Amino acid sequence: MSLAVTSSPIFSRDGLSFIFKSTWNPVKEDYGILPALLGTLITSALAISISTPLAISLAVFSAEIIPTRFRGLINNISDLMASLPSVIYGLWGLYVLAPILYQHVMNPLHQYLGFIPLFSTKPIPTNLFTAGVLLAIMIVPFASSVIREAYNAVPYYLKEAAYSLGMTKWEAIKTLLGYIKSAIFAGMFLALGRAMGETMAVAMVVGNTFTFPRSLFDMGYTISSLIANQFPNAEAYNYMIPALYGGAFLLFIVGLIINIVGLYWIKKVMIKS
């Protein structure tokens, strides 16, 4: 509610063009949110697609494969990682992750696969890709703890049944994962929510340039990092606060849509199985 009210001046001044413009020019009080909105979507999509397999495998690994006495340790470490302040991730991302990715991932990708539009920009250590990978690392423990709890909650007789049918460990795991599909979706949606709202860590590694992103290696902005960057001095302008609130409002709407679609999808999957 308050988001809608506070952002109303920018919408009544610029209308929908506020959403589709790509400028951020405080000198002329000219604001458009599109690059930041796209940046948010790109980085979170990248984060989710990298972290989903990792989160599932971490959950299975800790619940099924490692010896019982190390389980507590692994789970505690992963829970601790989920609760680390994001500014720590941000600094680590800026000083450690970004240079590594730049040297060993982005440069080779650009060199050999540069003809694919996704990798066409000559990379710089801080860009959308780095932000996406950092986000993925941040949300893996988060999603995997949800999946792990669900996996451990699978009734024991199901597991026994699977093995008694002569399934290998691998087949049993696949069957059990199918059984907790909805929990996996739920975990990933929670993680997506965190990725979309992440502020400080992203602000440090995303490059922070207000341009329309053309490839994964372009620098960009996300809505929450834009707010983190611009809010402290926003009161010096007439329209910047409404514009930032407008961005937050859009983020809220997009998040809502994704969640509704997600819930609907989970329901469908549940009915099917």
Partner 1 sequence: MKTGTKLIIIAAVAIVVLISVFVASSWQTSTIIQTTTPTQPTTHMLSGSIDGAGATFLNPQMQAWASKFYEITGGRIKINYQSIGSGAGQAKFREGILDFAGSDPPLKSDIYNEFKGKGGIIQFPVIIGTIVIVHNIPTVESEKLKLTGEVVAKIYLGEIMYWDDPAIKALNPELNLPHEKIIAVHRSDGSGTTRVFTAYLAKVSQDWKSKVGSDFTVAWPVDQLGNGVGGKGNEGVSAAVQQNLYSIGYVETAYAYEVGLKTALIQNKDGNYVLPTKEAVESASKALVRILPKADEDWSNIFPDETVDPPGKDSYPITSFSFVILRQAYDNPVKVAILKEFFQWVLTEGQKNENIVVGYDPLPPEVAMIGLEGLKLLKTV
Instruction: Say if CB 214 and CB 43 are below 8 A apart.
Output: no
Nearest to 131 by CA among 30, 4, 222: 222
- 194: left (phi > 0), else alpha (psi -120 to 50), else beta? alpha
Told to check if 68 binds partner 1 by CB under 8 A, we report no
Segment 94 to 153, residues that bind partner 1, using CB under 8 A? 94-95, 98-99, 102, 121, 124-126
CA distance 221 to 33: 10
* Closer of 103 and 168 to partner 1 (Cβ): 103
Count interface residues toward partner 1 (CB under 8 A). Answer: 39
Q: Which stretch binds partner 1 (CB under 8 A): 24-32, 58-66, 164-172, 181-189?
A: 24-32
Site string for partner 1, 231-250 (x = CB under 8 A): -xxxxxx-------------
Positive or negative torsion for Cα 182, 190, 195, 253: positive
DSSP 95: I
Instruction: Tell me which DSSP letter residue 105 carries.
Output: I
Rounded CA Rg of the chain: 21
Looking at the DSSP assignment, which residues form a beta bridge with residue 30?
25
Residue of 6, 57, 229, 259 that binds partner 1 (CB under 8 A): 229
Cα 55 versus chain centre, distance? 13
Residue 210 as a binder of partner 1 (CB under 8 A): the answer is: yes
**In this chain, which of 7, 43, 51, 75 binds partner 1, going by CB under 8 A?**
75
Q: Which of 6, 175, 211, 259 binds partner 1 (CB under 8 A)?
A: 211
The alpha carbon of residue 113 and the mean position of all alpha carbons in its chain are separated, in whole angstroms, by 24
Determine which residue in the list 1, 16, 27, 153 makes contact with partner 1, applying CB under 8 A.
27
**Of the candidate residues 196, 216, 230, 249, the single one contacting partner 1 (CB under 8 A):** 230
- The residue ranges that bind partner 1 (CB under 8 A) are 23-28, 72-73, 75-76, 79-80, 94-95, 98-99, 102, 121, 124-126, 203-204, 207-211, 218-219, 228-230, 232-237
